[in-house]
């Protein structure tokens, strides 16, 4: 079930909220668990059993880790949990990738398994891992109530496309959380804004990108517009989903952490990754990079740690060499910035360092979105003018005139300019009153416009569903 659909917004969500706020607190988690399982079952009937099995496995492992705390068995059960979770993720997500590469390397002809990827498995696997690891470390108390843990794992606002919500973030709120009109109103506003980012900006940017690459008169400028389009599409699609998840969570009394912080204003790739998909970056930092030794090891080992983390970051996104190369691409520039490039960037004018980041990012997302390595390299080649492409074409000019306003709105929307303007207006009493009056009207109008898109069928699934 898609957030961007009539069935979710006006049937599922409306019914769930009505029941949730009617029942006493002691059964609210049960209501959320049943609703979340139905939400997942609606799109993945068979794999609902898989997420339940994953939850029960984490629950049992958590109990055993806590029961044998201080003995070697606690570590044994921790590793059992890690191997089980990673093993399940590896089987469903990477089996065919490994079989295909073995066939290519050895000339063998092993049959592909053709296993469908369970929606959201990359996200909920990392969440269950964070639970058992934090219980072992003593950073989280073991959860003895299976319904509470199952609610955390399956919670529908963030179940299928993140952000990666750690158990410690919602540990207290699973047992006691506050509901208020202010929180609910904030949640509604955040949800509608996220939904608008997805439907009005991301989907339209995707259409623009497709038009640029599918043009009968392609050009170098057209391919750069494609690169910018898919980069902004990915940002508004994923950050829009994160906004919706945070908004839904707030309606239900949960406070999820932010996942994006205007990454396109960054002045270095290091800063970009502090602002983009923050829940994934901090997860790899805390559960992979630091346990490997981080930067408190000899230089050679440190470089290996960085390469390992970014290889895994790319591979987490998908079973294809494009994702692995995408991760290693960032590893290269991050290492360069740590050793010498970072000092150079600090001395450059802000506009130059910002341009450096934007160029590297849009090229990276061409690689990320390419049709295999061959397709990705062809697209990058077209951006460089290889293959005899002209710099400009009449068709490119037509599409730019058609989508020019969209590009301007998207670029401005990817910066904090609008937010800063609103905050500045709110500094004055009159301005604050005007904003407080206009905000609900704007939210209502956006909801009406988005609903019209739903009725027309002019929307698409979230891009991160495939991860």
Per-residue pLDDT of the chain (467 residues; tens, 9 = 90+): 788 888 898 999 999 999 999 999 999 999 999 999 999 998 888 999 999 999 999 999 999 999 999 899 999 999 999 999 999 999 999 999 999 999 999 988 899 998 989 988 999 999 999 999 999 999 999 999 999 999 999 999 998 887 999 999 999 999 999 999 999 999 999 999 999 999 999 999 999 999 998 888 888 999 999 999 999 999 999 999 999 999 999 999 999 999 999 999 999 999 999 999 999 999 999 999 999 998 899 999 999 999 999 999 999 999 999 999 999 999 999 999 998 898 898 889 999 999 999 999 999 999 999 888 999 999 999 999 887 888 888 998 999 999 999 999 999 999 999 999 988 998 888 888 888 899 999 999 999 999 888 877 655 666 655 55
pLDDT confidence of residue 460: 63
List b or e across 441-463, with b for residues whose CB sees 16 or more CB atoms inside 10 angstroms: eebeebbeebeebbeeeebebbb
End-to-end CA distance of the chain: 16
Question: Can you tell me whether residue 81 is helix, strand or coil?
Answer: helix
Q: Is the pTM of this model over 0.95?
A: no
Query: Which of 255, 277, 317, 428 is flagged as catalytic?
Result: 317
Domain spans in the chain, listed from the N-terminal domain onward: 6-177, 183-260+385-466
Phi and psi of 64, rounded to 5°? -70, -40
CB contact set of 346 (below 8 Å; sequence gap of 6+): none
pLDDT confidence of residue 83: 96
Read off the DSSP letter of residue 339: I
CB contact set of 237 (below 8 Å; sequence gap of 6+): 197, 198, 202, 206, 462, 463, 464
| Residues in the chain, total | 467
Q: How far apart are CA 429 and CA 82, in angstroms?
A: 54
Closest by alpha carbon to 125, among 33, 43, 53, 175? 53
Please report which residue ranges of 27-71 form alpha helices under DSSP H.
28-43, 48-67
**Residue indicated by tokens 């290519």:** 104
Pull the structure tokens for residue 420: 């800063």
Closest by alpha carbon to 6, among 236, 154, 199? 199
- Diameter over CA atoms, the chain: 74
The percent of the chain in helix, strand and coil, each rounded to the nearest 5, is 75, 0, 25
Radius of gyration of the chain (CA): 23
Rounded to the nearest 10°, the torsion over CA 81, 83, 86, 91 is -120
Closest by alpha carbon to 251, among 189, 169, 171? 189
pLDDT confidence of residue 457: 67
- Does residue 317 have an active-site annotation? yes
pLDDT confidence of residue 268: 95
CA angle 93, 361, 414 (to 5 degrees): 100
Total Cβ atoms within 10 A of residue 258: 13
Closest by alpha carbon to 88, among 37, 54, 43, 112? 54
CB contact set of 440 (below 8 Å; sequence gap of 6+): 189
């Amino acid at each position: 079930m898609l957030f961007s659909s009539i069935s979710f917004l006006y049937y599922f969500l409306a019914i769930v909220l009505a029941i949730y706020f009617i029942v006493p607190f002691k059964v609210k988690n049960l209501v959320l668990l049943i609703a979340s399982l139905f939400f997942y079952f609606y799109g993945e009937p068979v794999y609902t059993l898989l997420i339940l099995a994953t939850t029960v496995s984490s629950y049992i492992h958590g109990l055993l880790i806590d029961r044998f705390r201080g003995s070697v068995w606690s570590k044994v059960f921790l590793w059992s949990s890690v191997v089980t979770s990673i093993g399940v993720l590896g089987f469903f997500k990477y089996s065919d990738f490994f079989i295909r590469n073995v066939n290519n390397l050895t000339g063998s002809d092993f049959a592909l398994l053709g296993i469908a990827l369970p929606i959201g498995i990359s996200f909920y696997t990392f969440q269950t891992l964070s639970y058992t690891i934090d219980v072992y470390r003593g950073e989280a108390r073991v959860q003895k109530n299976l319904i509470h843990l199952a609610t955390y794992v399956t919670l529908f606002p963030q179940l299928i496309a993140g952000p990666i919500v750690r158990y410690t973030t919602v540990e207290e709120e699973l047992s006691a959380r506050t509901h208020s009109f202010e929180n609910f109103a904030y949640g509604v506003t955040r949800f509608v804004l996220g939904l608008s980012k997805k439907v009005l900006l991301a989907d339209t940017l995707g259409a623009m990108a497709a038009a640029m690459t599918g043009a009968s008169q392609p050009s170098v400028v057209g391919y750069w517009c494609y690169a910018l389009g898919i980069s902004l599409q990915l940002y508004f699609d994923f950050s829009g989903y994160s906004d919706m998840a945070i908004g839904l969570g707030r309606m239900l009394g949960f406070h999820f952490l932010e996942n994006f912080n205007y990454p396109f204003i960054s002045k270095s790739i290091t800063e970009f990754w502090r602002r983009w998909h923050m829940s994934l970056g901090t997860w790899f930092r805390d559960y992979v990079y630091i346990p490997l030794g981080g930067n408190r090891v000899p230089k050679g080992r440190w470089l290996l740690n960085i390469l390992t983390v970014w290889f895994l970051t790319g591979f987490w996104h998908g079973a294809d060499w494009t994702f692995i190369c995408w991760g290693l691409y960032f590893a290269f520039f991050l290492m360069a910035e740590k050793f010498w490039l970072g000092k150079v960037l600090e001395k450059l004018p802000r506009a130059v360092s910002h341009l450096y980041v934007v160029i590297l990012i849009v090229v990276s997302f061409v690689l990320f979105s390419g049709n295999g390595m061959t397709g990705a390299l062809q697209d990058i080649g077209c951006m460089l003018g290889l293959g005899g492409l002209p710099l400009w074409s009449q068709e490119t000019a037509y599409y730019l005139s058609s989508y020019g306003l969209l590009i301007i709105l998207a670029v401005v929307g990817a910066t904090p300019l609008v937010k800063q303007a609103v905050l500045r207006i709110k500094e004055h009493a009159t301005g604050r009153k005007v904003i407080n009056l206009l905000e609900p009207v704007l939210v209502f109008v956006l909801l009406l416009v988005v609903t019209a898109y739903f009725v027309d069928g002019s929307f698409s699934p979230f891009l991160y569903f495939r991860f």
